[in-house]
Structure 1
């Protein structure tokens, strides 16, 4: 019964036509309307929501088509962090808000120092309270922000724009590339200006939105998925993931301390009491605590093992066990 209620409308909507409406010549796909959504405002709620859901599903499918580029972007990000550089998020409008969630999670989830994650957003911190569009047109402001951040060859910059033509993001990524930084351009329109400055180009072909031009929807979903994948693969490549566990998490509340204790117990094969004691001895450093619980000669010995193995827990455990 419920499945029937949310089924696509029999008239007025055709998924295959979601990108096919006649549009002015040269109009970006992210700005286009689609014939399949004609009359949408007259549909039943379940039909509207079904169309929106289909748009989200198309967006996720678009991410799957660009996995090699996402992997290359994650490699540049990991190289920057492991080499002492920074990971920079450059965006305006909705992509800035999408980027913010990803950026703020990295220090918490993977223990990357907060000063190694840089945000360059049109309008600065003010957009967290009042998101307006005028700042997106100020390319000079982006160039100043890049100069103020003193970006250079050690850094990696992710430039995110649905259209790929936002002046702030286009100018900022070009300035970052000119400064020698590694650059990743993420956009939803092939041949867009942003790609001219990308060492890696991540094309998320999400097509027309259900609500024409509302790129916080499909394009935003694709951006979030792509950024999640870039930052997560970066964490894996940095050695901060072991058997699907975030072993470099900053355990600064009860939930995360309990999670850390479970990881220590599972990996080192000790009980909860021993796991928590190891976590206490290491000041909350999870990788170090795992090695202590597994038999390393105290926190100093565990830290030495990690230093010798490039902060990679698996290699450190292998060395500890003599493998």
Structure 2
């Protein structure tokens, strides 16, 4: 398989480039990423619709990956509870090598084709759930093995990769291929490939949460009120929806503990 993600950078002698030129060149490469994602939107749509169908029936969403790809899945999963008020086990991110690999690379963890399924078994994954493998190269054994075994157990699978015709995409029932081309630093897929994966993950989780009813209008009405900034945002949402002044909105929020409940109780009073 010819891996575009490993092809030579279009830029040479980087160590001799002025800082301004380095920054401009990286930025120029980054500008191409949203266009690559745009080309993959039909595939992303199919994936999201399948994810939403499973989640509406009570299923969970799992991400598996190694290195940057695994970390991106964990970031996306970990932001769903505070943003949308869903339980912490509704969207789950798993990285090859375990949680310690989030901060420090675990040697050869991604090369074990059997480990992902073992990791998923800790969550009792089943055919009500949906599994997405994330791998820029599309060749990560950890991800391939996880998808392959999930398929055998009747679990729907998808993927986000940055090479065409990869083994990971071949295993996924709903593959998403975002072809961003060679990296600025040859093979450094934490750059354009990582950005592309992050954009697609944003689309998947955000669209799923909207479809599941966790957004009203354009507001995060189920967000957790975990700091002063979010409490202020929540008060403003209640004010906007009810016409109450700030003090009244704060009292309503304090009484019911969430934007959704505060607005709902106000709308149905009397």
Asked if Structure 1 and Structure 2 have the same fold, meaning a TM-score greater than 0.5 normalized by the shorter chain, the answer is yes
Q: Aligned to 2:261, which of 280, 288, 298?
A: 288
Q: Aligned to 1:184, which of 158, 169, 172?
A: 158
Matching of residue 197 in structure 1 with residue 171 in structure 2: yes
Matching of residue 158 in structure 1 with residue 132 in structure 2: yes
Structure 1 residues 68 and 250: CA distance shift in structure 2, 3 A: same
Checking the alignment, whether the CA contact within 8 Å between 2:59 and 2:130 is kept in structure 1 is yes
Corresponding position of 2:16: 42
1:100-249 alignment, distance < 5 Å: 100-249=74-223
Corresponding position of 1:32: 7
Residues of 1 paired with 2:142 and 2:4: CA distance? 20
Residues of 2 paired with 1:246 and 1:189: CA distance? 35
Corresponding position of 2:73: 99
Which aligned segments of 4 or more residues in structure 1 are displaced greater than 6 angstroms? none
Query: Which protein has the larger Cα radius of gyration, Structure 1 or Structure 2?
Result: 1
Checking the alignment, whether the CA contact within 8 Å between 1:275 and 1:293 is kept in structure 2 is no
Matching of residue 276 in structure 1 with residue 250 in structure 2: yes
Give 5+ residue unaligned stretches, structure 1: 1-25, 298-323
Matching of residue 86 in structure 1 with residue 41 in structure 2: no
CA RMSD of aligned residues (A): 1.6
**Secondary structure of the structure 1 residue equivalent to 2:176:** strand
Shift of 1:133: 4.2
Checking the alignment, whether the CA contact within 8 Å between 2:95 and 2:102 is kept in structure 1 is no
Shift of 1:271: 2.0
Residues of 2 paired with 1:50 and 1:231: CA distance? 31
Residues of 2 paired with 1:285 and 1:238: CA distance? 17
Structure 1 residues 217 and 38: CA distance shift in structure 2, 3 A: same
Corresponding position of 1:18: none
Q: Taking structure 2 as the reference length, what is the TM-score of the superposition?
A: 0.94
Checking the alignment, whether the CA contact within 8 Å between 1:164 and 1:189 is kept in structure 2 is yes
Checking the alignment, whether the CA contact within 8 Å between 1:188 and 1:204 is kept in structure 2 is yes
Residues of 1 paired with 2:124 and 2:106: CA distance? 27
Give 5+ residue unaligned stretches, structure 2: none
Shift of 1:175: 1.5
